[in-house]
Amino acid sequence: MSKITTDLCIVGAGPVGLFAVFEAGLLKMRCHVVDALPAVGGQLSEIYPKKPIYDIPGFPEVLAGDLIKNLEQQIAPFHPTFTLGERVEDLEKLEDGSFIVRTVDGTEIACKVVVIAGGLGSFEPRKPAIENLEKFEKHGVEYMVRDPEHFRDKRVVLAGGGDSALDWAIYLAGLCKELTLVHRGTTFRGAPESAAKVLSMAEEGQIKLILKSNVSEVHGENELEAVTVMVDNTTPHRIETDYFIPLFGLVPKLGPIENWGLELDKNAIVVDTEAYSTNVPGVYAIGDINTYPGKLKLILCGFHEAALMAQSAYNIVYPDKKFVLKYTTVNGIQELQ
Amino acid sequence: MKDAINIYVEQESGERIELEAPLDMNLSVMEVLKANEFPVQAVCGGMAICATCHVEVLESGPLPEMNDDEAYMLETLPHATDSSRLSCQLRVNPELDGLVVRIMPEA
Ligand SMILES: Cc1cc2nc3c(=O)[nH]c(=O)nc-3n(C[C@H](O)[C@H](O)[C@H](O)COP(=O)(O)OP(=O)(O)OC[C@H]3O[C@@H](n4cnc5c(N)ncnc54)[C@H](O)[C@@H]3O)c2cc1C
Ligand code: FES
């Protein structure tokens, strides 16, 4: 369990959360960014990394993935710190007006200001409907491959037919004792090279490929011991295995944000447009997660909201200093040490 | 010619809610569901890349063929059945009159 102290804790590492680091950095405020996903970028990295975006000022065209890379570069001088792969579960307001932000894995972030840039909510794995699946989570059932080494010399059953299922099947086959890929279809979505590679590895016996099938049951005492694969929807086939990894993509869920005592309207946080503050003093909400009359869910609008949020947060972080607006051209970008 | 058709959404209780879908606005079934405040996230806005508009077709006349994107997406979903469709890929047209769908729970 780690403990972090910072000025602003930003929940969500989408484009808006990242740009908030820049706006805060210009005003000499430190940021810690938390995201449930193992990588930064929010919807742009998760849903459409290869799509061009045309409405970012100064970029006639930019790929979503490149925009995120540029944002990372733009905020680097401010040395933000990150907790990735952990969902924020709860916010506690202390008597002195500061906050403790807690993640599912017990990381605690003490901060003066909380900025929720949670977009559509945290991206959670899409789970197949298998009885008792949850009982084996962390005991043989995983929904992400965080560290491939974890699976070295083990037996692994992967399920899914998208890019990540294909990529991990190819990668893990070289590492595992035995790798089985179960796919409900007969063709593969995803990069044609990866699909071709999986098929050729299956022919050479490096991957066991079971098409037109679903994993229907999981078995074991405390740890996962085997899965049942329903072949052609009719014939059950038992496979002894150490791990079962269903990879069916991610779905955004508002999740814990609902329970933080914030005023909501249709799954979005109601804000005052003067500074994008919420009904809880010291908590701001910017980007797709907020709502106000005229709200547009665009990256550009989130960037604007981040700028106004930072001006207001400054008064909380530095209550005794008077804020004087200066353009970046006056001082340049001064790194936070 | 009629200027709208009817689409039905079957609830868990079995009750069917009737929706009117105008024919002249080039809407998708997903947009009709959203306009009627059904809990469809449709994160990708109809690009067949998120599957958060997944429905099961319970009754219908002939439906338009699936394009590759839709077929691949459905093939990779854990809850998909043989009658699954992405509602964003179904355009409202006279042939869809009387369509009955169930909104699929995702994840
Ligand atoms: C297909 C598609 C195309 C688009 N094209 C454009 C375009 O061309 N131009 C444009 O301006 N906009 C476009 N958009 C909209 C744009 O993607 C969003 O407006 C933008 O992503 C919002 O950024 P955000 O940072 O607010 O949220 P997001 O990008 O959604 O990021 C939010 C992050 O917060 C994290 N999070 C949420 N809750 C928690 C929690 N409790 N704990 C930890 N982490 C949490 C999530 O995991 C996520 O990574 C498009 C959207 C889609 C789907
Ligand atoms: S809205 Fe995303 S697939 Fe239909």
Q: Is A157 helix (H, G, I), strand (E, B) or coil?
A: strand
Q: Find the CATH number of the domain harbouring B66.
A: 3.10.20.30
Contact A34, A109 (CB under 8 A): yes
**Closest atom of ligand 1 relative to the A16 alpha carbon:** 25
**Structure-token pair, residue B72:** 């691949």
Return the bridge partners of A9, or none.
A32, A114
Name the closest ligand to CA A122: 1
The reply to whether ligand 2 has any atom less than 6 angstroms from the CB of B51 is yes
Q: What is the DSSP code string of A231-297?
A: ETTTEEEEEE-SEEEE---EEEE-GGGGGSS--EETTEEE-BTTTTB-SSTTEEE-GGGEE-TT---
Instruction: Domain count for chain B, please give it.
Output: 1
Find out if CATH 3.50.50.60 is the number for domain A3-124+251-331.
yes
**Closest atom of ligand 1 relative to the A88 alpha carbon:** 42
**Structure-token pair, residue A289:** 């997660």
Query: Which residue, among B75, B82, B86, B88, would best test binding to A if mutated, counting the most A CBs under 10 Å from its CB?
Result: B75
Centroid of chain to Cα A215: 26
Distance from CA of A306 to the nearest CA of B (A): 22
Contact A75, A22 (CB under 8 A): yes
A15 Cα to the center of ligand 1, angstroms? 7
Q: Which residue has the tokens 């699929």?
A: B104
Of B41, B72, B107, the CB nearest to A189: B72
User: CATH code for A127-248?
Assistant: 3.50.50.60
Contact A78, A335 (CB under 8 A): yes
| Rounded CA separation A164/A49 (Å) | 14
pTM value surpassing 0.90: no
Centroid of chain to Cα A69: 16
| Chain segment A218-270, per-residue pLDDT in tens | 999 999 999 999 998 789 999 999 999 999 988 888 889 999 999 999 889 99
A329 is an annotated ligand-binding site residue: yes
**Closest atom of ligand 1 relative to the A301 alpha carbon:** 11
Interface size between A and B, measured as CB pairs under 8 A? 66
φ, ψ of residue A246 to 5 degrees: the values are -80, 125
From B40, B44, B72, mutation site for ligand 2 pocket: most ligand atoms within 8 A of C-beta: B44
ipTM: 0.79
The reply to whether ligand 1 has any atom less than 6 angstroms from the CB of A71 is no
Q: How far is CA A154 from CA A160, A176, A177, B73, in A?
A: 19, 5, 5, 30
H/E stretch holding A178: strand A178-182
Distance from CA of A212 to the nearest CA of B (A): 9
Of B47, B72, B106, the CB nearest to A187: B72
What pLDDT does B32 receive? 96
Sequence ranges of chain A with CATH classification 3.50.50.60: 3-124+251-331, 127-248
Subunit contact B44:A189, Cβ cutoff 8 A: no
A80 Cα to the center of ligand 2, angstroms? 34
**Full domain range(s) for residue B87:** 4-103
The reply to whether ligand 2 has any atom less than 6 angstroms from the CB of B106 is no
| Rounded CA separation A315/A31 (Å) | 15
Distance from CA of A243 to the nearest CA of B (A): 18
The reply to whether ligand 1 has any atom less than 6 angstroms from the CB of B41 is no
**Structure-token pair, residue B75:** 């093939």
Per-residue pLDDT of chain A (337 residues; tens, 9 = 90+): 689 999 999 999 999 999 999 999 999 999 999 999 889 999 999 888 888 999 999 999 999 999 999 999 999 999 999 999 899 999 999 999 999 999 999 999 999 999 999 998 888 888 998 999 999 999 999 998 878 999 999 999 999 998 889 999 999 999 999 999 999 888 887 788 999 999 999 999 999 999 999 999 999 999 999 999 999 878 999 999 999 999 998 888 888 999 999 999 988 999 999 999 999 999 999 999 999 999 999 999 999 999 999 999 999 999 988 766 667 766 677 777 6
| Rounded CA separation A67/A49 (Å) | 9
| Chain segment B45-88, per-residue pLDDT in tens | 898 888 999 999 999 988 999 998 899 889 888 888 889 999 99
From B43, B44, B50, B69, mutation site for ligand 1 pocket: most ligand atoms within 8 A of C-beta: B44
Q: What is the DSSP code string of A41-99?
A: -HHHHHT-TTSEE--BTTBSSEEHHHHHHHHHHHHGGG--EEEES--EEEEEE-TTS-E
Which among A321, A222, A250 is positioned nearest to A41, based on CA atoms?
A250
What pLDDT does B107 receive? 44
Contact A10, A115 (CB under 8 A): yes
A89 Cα to the center of ligand 2, angstroms? 28
Taking contacts as CB-CB distances below 8 angstroms, the residues of chain B near A248 are 76-78
Strands A113-116 and A8-11: parallel
Q: How far is CA A116 from CA A72, A102, A290, B35, in A?
A: 19, 13, 9, 27
Burial group, residue A113, by CB count within 10 angstroms (0-12, 13-18, 19+): buried
Q: Is A218 helix (H, G, I), strand (E, B) or coil?
A: strand
Give A296-302's long-range contacts (Cβ < 8 A, gap of 24+).
Answer: A298/A55, A299/A15, A299/A16, A299/A53, A299/A55, A299/A56, A299/A67, A300/A55, A300/A56, A300/A57, A302/A14, A302/A15, A302/A16, A302/A19, A302/A117
